[in-house]
Every structure is written in structure tokens, then in C-alpha cells.
Amino acid sequence: MEVKYWTYLIVGFTFAVYIGIAIWSKAKSTKEFYVAGGNISPIANGMATAADWMSAASFISMAGLIAFSGYGGSVFLMGWTGGYVLLAFLVAPYLRKYGKFTVPEFIGERFYSKTARLVAVLCLIVVSVTYVIGQMKGVGVAFSRFLETDYNTGLFIGMGIVFFYAVLGGMKGITYTQIAQYVVLIFAYTVPAIFISLELTGNPIPQLGLIGNVSDGTPLLQKLDTVITELGFGKYTNNVMGSKLNMFAYTLSLMIGTAGLPHVIIRFFTVKKVSDARLSAGWALIFIAILYTTAPAVAAMARLKFTKTIQVDKVGEVSGNIKYEKRPEWFKNWEKTGLLQHEDKNGDGRIQYYNDADKSFASVASEYGWKGNEMTKIDKDIMVLANPEIAKLPGWVVALVVAGGLAAALSTAAGLLLAISSSISHDLLKGIFRPQITEKQELNASRISMVGAILLAGYFGLNPPDFAAGTVAIAFGLAASSIFPVLMMGIFVKRMNREGAIAGMIAGLGVTLLYVFQHKGIMFIPGTSYMGGMEENWFFGITPNAFGAVGAIVNFAVAFIVSKMAKDPPEEVQKLVEDIRLPQINEN
Amino acid sequence: MNDQKSESEIPEDSSSPLGSGMTKQEYWKKNITCVLSLLVVWFVVSYGCGILFVEQMNKISIGGAQFGFWMAQQGSIYVFVVLIFVYVRLMNRLDREFTSTCQNEEKVQTEGEDQS
């Protein structure tokens, strides 16, 4: 059967499952809509959290990113998993004990201030919307490439599915759908990885394959280092990203950003008790770790496979480079999409792929008669999607990967949309502007704001702003520099007051935004970056993406200084802090 | 808003009537100690082995990989998982000790803690 029909079959089947779950789990109360009734089991919630967390970026982009950055790519692996340790130790149990529906609600009550709540809502919406745009785009791309519909139709189908189960079921529908989506995505990710690992190293477990040997007896990683350094690239296993300090700050930003992402935090409101919240974070990390420990294996193997496809034999000999007309089928398919491009610079009808930016190797290469790197474009995002084709796996595996990518994108989009809609209906409407509305009206309002959020996300999906790629920096920077510190101080510093918290949030946010904008352009409009993206202007060599950690430090510092100048929080707030620190006495 | 009370004046059962039990402050202190010591491990395996001292770690090898590289891409993640489950166990034990104290107190004092 052709790949296309397999894709229709598998994607169609998974979508039918999602819709079935939606009908079965319609939310009837605000509690069901916001926190799925508050009685999800820790394992189920862990699985849903994992699907919620692993987005199209984790599924599609991460392995490709690591493949081409080697050791430097470790920041993503450590950052996006280590954040769960912080979440489990410092955030989830206390906010679960607090026992309400949204993150801004906690911030508002802890800092006895509607302004603080409003600032928190604002951060939440900016973080979640920037995040959701990427997911919608992923859905559109997956559809257009594999189901041969056009991009817009793909996007509408994706929106329709999310609309159905998120609006009907709220958190309840989303939770059960996410469990199904986790199963689909993890299966889709590991199956091709197993095949590739088996082929390259003879070991079916990719994590072991990574430290195993290739067929000629040399270790996989050593082989990879040799193959790519012969072509002038940096060594895979010690290729640092920027500098040590940058890697440190980058990892820290991702970790504290993870622990401050509202759509992840609210998942811990769905379990029954505090001890379940802790346990659930552990299960979530197990489910996430399955993908995150597979990804570096996929990365290294894909890089080796990809390089060897082009450089089939000894570097420097004419026959060492593959003839362009003999390029494999997957190569042709991706060329059609424009994500892979070749230009025969020296007119020899063969492909040369090497690092022409490395001066000493470039001069060696010119002696071979090479006139520059001929792979003019390699989009890193294609690595995971192309992997099954590169490994010559059957059509149903390719189809499975498409369904997995869609599951990753849809599950994350739904979680984000819920975070947005609950902060609009619960925080803005019920909490600040219209406290008198009934539960029924609030439930309707949250459904309407969910529809609004989906339409907004769809609009941005149809007209993707140019800045989409740069927004990851903003999303994590905001969460790391504003939400995480304010939660920490709210829980661990009893004396922290309203004035300190608000000043800290604004300062942390301001510094981070300023830094990102000055290097990437105001609102990412090219040409407005008043200091340019130039590396020499980076603060201690820290890239804009890694700046959230610095923003968080500024936030803490400002908050402590300002809080010393204002009055202590009122007694009932201090009581609230004491209360969230203690375990529930009468559990069960 | 008479919120000028100093911390010592805030009503708090600073000593347990039963003597053997655990006060709120003791519970909180133990909680912080537990979290901090686990965070030291968290820091050492990721930032320590994976970033700051990666060259030194790379002199050791694990299978076909250098240890520092392996910690950064694999090992730290496994340790993170273990850390959370250790934390869950330690905290559950601490919670049990604390709640049993509270329940004893409730029996003694009749006015119970109104939690949940």
C-alpha cells in the first residue's frame, strides 16, 4: 500500500479516537472544565502532562537540532527535563495544596492584588499564544506535506478537531485525549528509532545503541566524530554551543521556564491530593524521558546516516561523493519541498557536503576540486520526518510518524488553549471584571473564550508572523523571568509583599524583553534591532534565547529590595502561605 | 489592615503538646532540607558533570561514549527521574509523621486543624 493511503488510514483512525473520547467525556461543571473534576490518577495525569508538554517542537525539531549541534544540543535535553525536578520540588505540591483553578488566581490571592493577577494573566496569554502559533503551523505543515491537502485545509481540520474536544470536554476531555495522544506519539517516535538503531549498531534499544559500536567495531559516536571532522565540521561530542557560560544560562533558562509554564502547572491541579501531585510529576518525567533519551540516539544516528548518504566513500576521491542522479528517493522528495537544496557548484555531477566555513579544510577541499558546500539548504526539521524513509522503513511507519507529529502538536495546542481560556473566563471575567456571574455563565464564558482562542491561533496559523521562529525565546524568557520567580517568592518567602512581587515581575520581564528585542528586533521586525544580532554585543556571550535566567535573577533582586521598603503582607496572606506549605491532614 | 505583626506574634503552635510530635516549623525545615539536598544532586549531575566539568568527565568512558557527553545527553535525565521518586518517598514519610502528630493533637485538643 502507498504511504499516502497508510497516512489517511492511521491519521483518520487516531482522529476518530480523539473525537470519540470527546463525546464520552463532556464537562458538566466549571470544576470539570478547569481541572477535570480534580480526581485524575497520578499515572494518567503524568501521561497527559507528558503529551501536553511534548510539542511539535520536541517531536519534530529537537532531534534535528541536536543532530547538527552535537554536544551543544544537550541544553535542550537537560533543560526540558530538569525543569520537572523543579516543578516537583518547588511548584506542583504547593499549588495543588492551594487547590484552585489557575496560576494567576494564586498570584492574585497570594499578593492580595488584582494588579498582580492582571500582570500574571498578561504573561500567561503572551507565553501561551506564542507557543500555540507554532503548534498550529506544525499541524498545517504535516497535513500539507503528507496528506497532500493544501496548508489552509490542513489547518482547518486541525482546528476543527481541537475545537471539538477542547470546547466540549474542557480539561476533562483534554486529559483523556492527551493520554491517547501520548500513546500515539511515543509509539511513533520509538518505532523508527528502534529500526535505525538495530540497523546501525545491532542493538534494538536506541539508548544502548548510542553507546554501542557500528558494524566495523568502532563506537558509534567515535565513528560519527571521524566522519564529520574529515569534512571540516566540529567534533560531535564536544561541540560547545556558544560558550560554557551560555550553555549554563541556556539550560537554566529552559529549566526554570519549564517550571513556570502555566499550561504545565495547571495539569497538577487535576489530581486528588498533594502527594499525588508529587508522584504525578515523577510519572510525567518518566513518560517524557522515554522520548528525551531516544532523541539524542536518533540525532547521532541520523547525522551519521545523512552524511554517509552523500559522502559514500573516502573523502577526496572522486568516487567518494554520490552522483546527483543516484541520490535516493527520500532526497528527491524533500528537494520538492524546498527544505533540502543542492547546487552543483563545481559542475561534476556529484554532491559535496562539507564545512566550507572552516578555512583550513576549505583550502584542502579546493585541492580536491570542490568549490564550496553544495548542500545549500538542509532544514533541521526534516530529520525526524525523513528518518523512516532514510532507513527504508515500510510505508506504515512513515504514516505513524505523521500521526505522532500531529498528536504532539494537537495535545500541546489543546493544553495551551485551556490555559488561555481559563485565565480569561476565570481570572479576567470572574476574578476581576464580573465577579457576580454564576457558575453556568462562567462555564459558557470559558467555552466562548476557548472558541476565541482557537480562532486567534488559527488566524496566526494562516498568517504566520515572521517572528514565529524567534518566539521560543520570548515564551521561555517570559515564563522564566516573570512567572517562576513570583511563584517561588510566593511559596518560600512569607514576607514577600505585593509591592515587591509586582516590581520584580515587571523588572524581570522588562530586562528580558529589552535584551531579546535589542538583538532580534522590536517585536521581531527585522532592522529594528538597535544593537544587531552581533555576538560581540552579547552580555557575557549569552544568547537572547538564554537570557531568561538573567531576567529571573533581576526579578528576585528587585523584588527583595522593593519588598524591604513596603509593609509586610497582611496576616491572612501569611496564613495562606503557611497553609500551602503543610500537607493535607485529612487526605482521602 | 493591621498587618504589622512580627513573625513571632503570628499564632503558630510552636511546640507540640505531646512532645514527641513534629511542629509546623520542624516539618517545613525538614521539607527544605530534603529539597535542598536533592537539588545539590540535581545540580551536580546536570550543570556539574554535563557542563562545567565536562572535559574532566570526558576522560572516563561509558560504553562507546565519553562520560561527560553521556551525562549531558542521557545520564542526567535518568538521575532526574530517580530524584523525583526519592523525593516522593521522603516526603510521604515526612507527611505521615506530621499528620500522625496532628491527629494526636486533635484528639487531645478537640479543636482540629481545618484543612483539606
Q: Residue A286: which pLDDT band, with cuts at 50, 70 and 90?
A: very high
Please give the pLDDT value at position A87.
Answer: 94
Q: Residue A49: which pLDDT band, with cuts at 50, 70 and 90?
A: very high
Contacts of B99 in chain A (CB under 8 A): 583, 585, 587
Chain B interface, best mutation among A98, A236, A237, A303, by max B CB count within 10 A: A237
B72 and A570: CB-CB below 8 Å?
A: no
B64 and A93: CB-CB below 8 Å?
A: no
- Dig out the grid coordinates for A573 from the structure: 496572606
- Dig out the grid coordinates for A230 from the structure: 574529515
pLDDT digits (tens, 9 = 90+) for A548-559: 889 999 999 999
Classify residue A480 by its DSSP letter: I
Please give the pLDDT value at position A23.
Answer: 83
Chain B interface, best mutation among A208, A255, A290, A586, by max B CB count within 10 A: A586
pLDDT score of A150 more than 50:
yes
User: What is the ipTM metric for this complex?
Assistant: 0.89
Please give the pLDDT value at position B72.
Answer: 93
Please give the pLDDT value at position A1.
Answer: 63
Please give the pLDDT value at position B12.
Answer: 43
Please tell me if residue B73 touches chain A, with a CB cutoff of 8 Å.
Answer: yes
pLDDT digits (tens, 9 = 90+) for A329-358: 888 878 877 778 888 888 888 888 888 888
d(CA A535, CA A537): 5
According to DSSP H, which parts of A62-113 are helical? Answer: 62-69, 74-86, 92-98, 103-110
Contacts of A258 in chain B (CB under 8 A): none
Please give the pLDDT value at position A256.
Answer: 93
d(CA A454, CA A131): 13
Please give the pLDDT value at position B108.
Answer: 58
Average pLDDT, chain A: 85
In this complex, which of B64, B98, B112 lies closest to A220 when CB atoms are compared? B64
Distances (CA, A) of A6 to A250, A262, A404, A408: 40, 37, 13, 19
Chain B interface, best mutation among A211, A214, A293, A304, by max B CB count within 10 A: A211
Q: Residue A539: which pLDDT band, with cuts at 50, 70 and 90?
A: low
Amino acid identity at A310: I
d(CA A236, CA A29): 53
B63 and A208: CB-CB below 8 Å?
A: yes
B103 and A585: CB-CB below 8 Å?
A: yes
Please tell me if residue A302 touches chain B, with a CB cutoff of 8 Å.
Answer: no
pLDDT score of A468 more than 80:
no
- Dig out the grid coordinates for B87 from the structure: 523525593
Question: Residue A79: left (phi > 0), alpha (psi -120 to 50), or beta?
Answer: alpha
Q: Residue A142: which pLDDT band, with cuts at 50, 70 and 90?
A: confident
pLDDT digits (tens, 9 = 90+) for B27-77: 899 999 999 999 999 999 999 999 999 888 889 888 888 999 999 999 999
A221 and B4: CB-CB below 8 Å?
A: no
Q: Residue A487: which pLDDT band, with cuts at 50, 70 and 90?
A: very high
B27 and A582: CB-CB below 8 Å?
A: yes
Contacts for A549 with CB less than 8 Å, ≥ 6 apart: A249, A250, A252, A253, A256, A480
